[in-house]
Amino acid sequence: MAWQATVLTIFPDMFPGPLGHSLAGKALAEGRWRLETVDIRGFARDKHRSVDDAPFGGGPGMVMRPDIVDAALAATPAPGPLVFLTPRGRRIDQGRVAALAAGEGVRLLCGRFEGVDERVIEAWAIEELSLGDFVLSGGEPAAIAVIDACVRLLPGVIGDPAALEEESFRRGLLEYPHYTRPQVWQGRAVPEVLVSGHHEQVRRWRAAAAERATRERRPDLWKHRPAEGGGTDG
């Protein structure tokens, strides 16, 4: 059974969007994964198809109603964890992405306006995840990012599975820098070790470069990296 992404949104036409192109799009056409969109407005109860209302306690903006969202969720018994994409959620990382990709799929609830009524989040025990410490206009771009991150980990999507082994976050490190032709560009030469033909030296250089990039750019990752051998700073 193919991995399935189910997206609950008031803008179903935003999908597949970028997911219909490149690796994800090819894998979708090949049936390696499935995409289902659920229009939350289809569960509205008035002629205007309203899904939101003013917040109790006052304040700006509107809130997605719990009864409407609940009805949409109840009508969508799709496989996988139920995730609400919100800036206040736990920041998603590669480990969580890998766990989602290893399952049957994921259901992604896309919020709009000021978000979703807290009671429906509690009632469904929805997992709250965030892409990072910034705010989007809605959950749809975040859903696209999460799905893309999962799909590329599915069997057969990446042509060479070895390409996944040395990516950023694979072992708690950022990825080492890459170079290609021309060997000298605007006076900048490719590091000599990469054209030396000495595979062990290349491996050591890449390991050291990954450690250095992580230490300088992401001290939070460096602090919590797994304890294992690797490169040197030489």
| pLDDT for res 140 | 98
117, with CB counted inside 10 A (0-12, 13-18, 19+), is buried
Domains of the chain: 3-151 (3.40.1280.10), 171-223 (1.10.1270.20)
**How far is the C-alpha of 196 from the C-alpha of 74, rounded, in Å?**
60
Q: Does 16 sit behind a cis peptide bond, omega within 30 degrees of 0 on the bond before it?
A: yes
- Give the Å distances, CA to CA, from 70 to 37, 120, 121, 137: 16, 6, 9, 22
C-alpha closest to that of 10 among 143, 174, 167: 143
Buried b (16+ CB within 10 A) or exposed e, 188-222: eeeeeebeeeeeeebebbbbbbbbbbbbeebeebb
Strands 105-110 and 3-9, sheet pairing: parallel
Is the CB of residue 120 less than 8 Å from the CB of residue 66? yes
* Cα separation, 212 vs 227, whole angstroms: 15
Cβ neighbours of 19 (radius 10 Å)? 23
The reported pLDDT for the residue numbered 118 is: 98
From first to last of the 234 residues of the chain, give the pLDDT tens digit.
Answer: 899 999 999 999 999 999 999 999 999 999 999 999 999 999 998 889 999 999 999 999 999 999 999 999 999 999 999 999 999 999 999 999 999 999 999 999 999 999 999 999 999 999 999 999 999 999 999 999 999 999 999 999 998 877 887 677 877 899 999 999 999 999 999 999 999 999 999 999 999 999 999 999 999 999 988 765 444 333
Alpha carbon distance, N-terminus to C-terminus of the chain = 48
* pTM (two decimals): 0.89
